[in-house]
Amino acid sequence: MFENQIIPGYRHQPGFHCASSAIRNILAFSGIQVSEPTIIGLGRAPGLLYLILDQRPSRLVHMRCLALEDNFFQAVGLKFQWKETENAADATKHAKEAVDRGLPVLIQTDIAYLPYFNTDQHFPGHAVVICGYNEEKGEFYVSDTLHPEMLAVAITDMERARSVSFQPYVLKNKSFVLEDISGFLIDETVVRGAILLWAEENLNGIPRLSAAYGLGSLKTLIKDLIDWKEAADWQWSARFTYQVIERRGTGGAGFRTLYRQFLEEQEEQYITLRRLRLSQMMTIIEDIYHEIATVFRQISEKEVPDFSSAIPILEKLLAREKDFYQKILREL
């Protein structure tokens, strides 16, 4: 497909989550093999951010750390900085220049403006890789984890998708090109450091983030949930919560399945991690997230709003996660 238009040597491989699979594919293009769960783990992806918004859905539960990409590249010793511009034409020019140099481009988009999604629901922050273009047809060729093959996107559509403000993301034509891999390193120190930071952020929040994060956000959700019935879009807010936990690129259980796999991979390599049995504790938390997702789906299918059944499960999750993060910080 798109013969002679794709960067030579770039291989599209689908995955579970958009950003982690995009990073994995870019690293593989550079000769570095890293599993998607490892990228999720070192990127400190699983979190919880709860927001009340003047948009649809009005109650948003977001399961991914917004800084996953930055976290991962910093953890493994590679320079990372999003390139941003208000000018869509400049962003297009930069992407074409990178492809001309034989380098894939990591970008963030809003799926509402990508025609192949066929949706009007905004979902920003969706990562894809620009890996080719055709000037005559006015098309970019992209690698998107949710599709088995590379796709063509009109450059005009891509420019709209890359420049949008929809919480919790503000997209300003973000792009990143990996040019130097000389500092790359993953060892036990890197892994332990990432796990410790992940536990600290989820237990105590992220200082640079304006909103509560992790357990702080979960506490607010539990407190507010009884009032979700007053929202005009209570059914969609409930349905969207189910989707962002189980279906929208999380790999299941709000990224906790992928994180459990990350812990299992590291426990196979490092005996100090194996002794802590963190993956076994993560399995229990993973199951609770499945339970929560099911309850929100069931609530969304009712005619009368009643969120009371979700509260005890969320309280159970709060206790389990608090114990888990404290154990990591105490014993790792």
pLDDT in tens, 19-34: 999 999 999 999 999 9
- The stretch 135-152 carries a mean pLDDT of 94
Provide the pLDDT for residue 64. Answer: 94
- Of residues 126, 104, 94, the one with CA closest to residue 113: 126
- The stretch 72-99 carries a mean pLDDT of 97
267-to-68, 73, 191, 263, 329 alpha-carbon distances in Å: 22, 22, 10, 6, 17
Provide the pLDDT for residue 175. Answer: 97
Angstrom distance (rounded) from CA 163 to CA 171: 5
Residue with the larger pLDDT of the pair 248 and 310 = 310
Task: With residue 107 as reference, give the H or E element that holds it.
Answer: strand 105-110
Strands in 105-110's sheet, in edge-to-edge order, are 151-154, 139-143, 124-134, 105-110, 175-176
- The stretch 282-297 carries a mean pLDDT of 98
What pLDDT, in 10s, does the model give residues 198-213?
Answer: 999 999 999 988 889 9
Instruction: Give me the chain's average pLDDT, please.
Output: 95
Contact 198, 46 (CB under 8 A): yes
- pLDDT tier at 3 (50, 70, 90 boundaries)? low
- pLDDT value at 192 more than 70: yes
- pLDDT value at 293 more than 90: yes
- pLDDT value at 123 more than 90: no
- pLDDT value at 193 more than 90: yes
Q: What HEC string does 230-287 produce?
A: HCCCHHHHHHHHHHHHHCCCCCCHHHHHHHHHHHHHHHHHCHHHHHHCHHHHHHHHHH
- pLDDT value at 227 more than 70: yes
Beta strands 151-154 and 139-143 are antiparallel
- The stretch 209-218 carries a mean pLDDT of 94
Task: State the virtual CA torsion across 274, 64, 310, 260 in degrees, nearest 10.
Answer: -20
Give the chain's length.
332
What pLDDT, in 10s, does the model give residues 149-190?
Answer: 999 999 999 999 998 777 677 789 999 999 999 999 999 999
Angstrom distance (rounded) from CA 200 to CA 294: 28
Contact 130, 9 (CB under 8 A): no
Domain boundary assignment for the chain:
18-33+80-176, 188-331
Provide the pLDDT for residue 167. Answer: 67
* Region for residue 155 given its phi and psi (left: phi exceeds 0; alpha: psi -120 to 50; beta: otherwise): alpha
Angstrom distance (rounded) from CA 250 to CA 195: 19
Whether CATH 3.90.70.30 fits 18-33+80-176: yes
